Amino acid sequence: MISDSFINGKTDTSYNFIPIDTVYDVSCSFTKIELCKESVTISARIDNADKYKWSSGDTLKRKIINSGGKYWVDSYIKGCIIRDSFEIISPAKIIISFPDTVSICSNQAIYLFAKGFQTYEWSNNIFDSVNLISAGGKYWLKVSNGCKDTVVHFFVREEKCDCEIFFPNAFTPNLDNINDDFGPETECKFKNYNLQIYNRWGEKLFETTDTKGKWSGKFKKSDVPEGCYIYIFRSQKVNGEWIYRNGFVNLLR
């Protein structure tokens, strides 16, 4: 049996990453530039001005900047002054949400998903956003947003399960009494239970703490369209063991 787990990555993609050897021309509007490397070269946009003056006091057309902050450059042309302003900002933070430990039953495998990054490197030599793990042990994942790298460490615990938890990869909420709702298929008994459903934009559509609760494919009492949705499941068995599962489910009508 293969179960799913999901690593959620998020970066601020409002601004372009600027390599160290890029010369960036500031525009007449206020510009934000991300300082990806040790420094960035900024060029005044006006060519052949009579004089240039930067907020730091420099007087050349180009300036190397190695720290964040707000800057401006004045270009003097025949008695007129044109000022361009810009801001150098620190790289966006990488946020990864994933548990320290993931449990799998013996002879099972688990899919680990990561998304929202440019590159991926897993400790078991996988360089994709999806990794199928079938053995317990210590693992790590290194991700990059093109500017910064971040590493997350986690442990996959392999154990003999007294009951199994299965999540179908699709359901059909068409009121025919066959696969009309979505949730875990299991004989396990829980004392804590939480099932959440999200759309691809990260909007929460459903949440329940009822140990028998399942999603009917609705949001605010209205049917949601066909498509792929994300589920997150956290529960605690009566023996105290915590279970974490997440992945994708296809809604078909």
Going across the sheet that includes 204-208, the strands are 170-171, 242-251, 227-237, 190-198, 204-208
Query: For residue 40, which of 78, 93, 87, 82 has the smallest C-alpha distance?
Result: 87
What are the pLDDT digits (tens) for 38-80? Answer: 778 888 888 888 899 999 999 998 888 888 888 888 889 888 8
- Rounded to an integer, the average pLDDT of 217-232 is 93
Query: pLDDT (tens digit, 9 = 90+) per residue, 7-33?
Result: 444 433 332 333 333 444 444 444 667
Helix (H, G, I), strand (E, B) or coil at 160: coil
Confidence (pLDDT) at 54: 92
Which two structure tokens, joined as six digits, stand for 80? 């007129």
Check whether 188 has a pLDDT greater than 70: yes
Nearest C-alpha neighbor of 122 from the set 7, 3, 17: 7
Q: What architecture is the 17-89 domain classified under in CATH?
A: Sandwich (2.60)
Kindly state the average pLDDT of the residues 185-191: 85
pLDDT (0 to 100) of residue 162 = 67
pLDDT tens-digit profile of 115-146? 777 889 999 999 988 888 888 899 999 988 77
C-alpha separations of 114 from 23, 38, 253 in Å: 33, 28, 28
Q: pTM of the full predicted structure?
A: 0.44
Q: Give the CATH number of domain 167-253.
A: 2.60.40
DSSP state of 94: P
**Residue spans in the chain of domains classed CATH 2.60.40.10:** 17-89
